[in-house]
Structure 1
Amino acid sequence: MEKSFELAEVKDRKKAQYASYNLKDESSYWWESSKAFLEGETISWQKFMELFLEKYFPSYMQDQLEVRFLDLKQENLTVAEYEVKFSELARFVPKYVNTEAKKAKRFQQVLKPWICSQVALLERRTYAALVQKAMIVEGEREATKRESEGKKRKF
Structure 2
Amino acid sequence: MDKKLEIARVDEQDKVPFATHYLEGPANIWWDNLRDMRFEGLVVTWTEFRESFHKAHIPASLMKIKQQEFLALTQGHLSINEYLTNFNNLARCAHDDTNTDEKKKDRFLHGMHQALKTQLSVLKFPDFQAMVNIALIAEKEHRTIYDSHKRKFESHKSQLERHATKPRTCQPNFRAPAPVSASALQPTKER
Report the AA paired with residue 105 of structure 1: D
Gaps of 5+ in 2: 160-191
Look up the match of 1:33: 33
**How does 1:3-152 map onto structure 2 within 5 Å?**
3-38=3-38, 39-152=40-153
Tell me, in whole angstroms, the C-alpha distance in 2 between the residues paired with 1:34 and 1:74.
42
Query: Helix, strand or coil for the counterpart of 1:73?
Result: coil
Tell me, in whole angstroms, the C-alpha distance in 1 between the residues paired with 2:140 and 2:119.
12
Deviation, structure 1 residue 73: 0.9
Q: How many residues align?
A: 155
Identity %: 28
Report the AA paired with residue 89 of structure 1: L
Superposed CA offset, 1:111-151 (max 9, x none): 11111001123222221121122222222122112212323
Tell me, in whole angstroms, the C-alpha distance in 2 between the residues paired with 1:90 and 1:63.
12
Range that drifts further, 56-65 or 122-131 = 122-131
TM-score for both structures, normalised by structure 2: 0.75
TM-score for both structures, normalised by structure 1: 0.91
Superposed CA offset, 1:32-88 (max 9, x none): 111110222222212211221111112111111111111111122111111110011
Which structure has the greater CA radius of gyration? 2
Tell me, in whole angstroms, the C-alpha distance in 1 between the residues paired with 2:87 and 2:140.
19
Deviation, structure 1 residue 5: 1.5
Tell me, in whole angstroms, the C-alpha distance in 1 between the residues paired with 2:127 and 2:41.
48
Q: Which runs of 4+ in 1 moved over 3 A?
A: none
Tell me, in whole angstroms, the C-alpha distance in 2 between the residues paired with 1:114 and 1:151.
21
Report the AA paired with residue 55 of structure 1: A
Range that drifts further, 77-86 or 142-151 = 142-151
Tell me, in whole angstroms, the C-alpha distance in 2 between the residues paired with 1:86 and 1:145.
25
Work out which structure has the larger RCO, using CA pairs closer than 8 Å and 6 or more positions apart in sequence: 1
Q: Which has the higher helix share?
A: 1
Gaps of 5+ in 1: none
Q: What root-mean-square deviation, in Å, do the aligned CA atoms of Structure 1 and Structure 2 show? A: 1.6
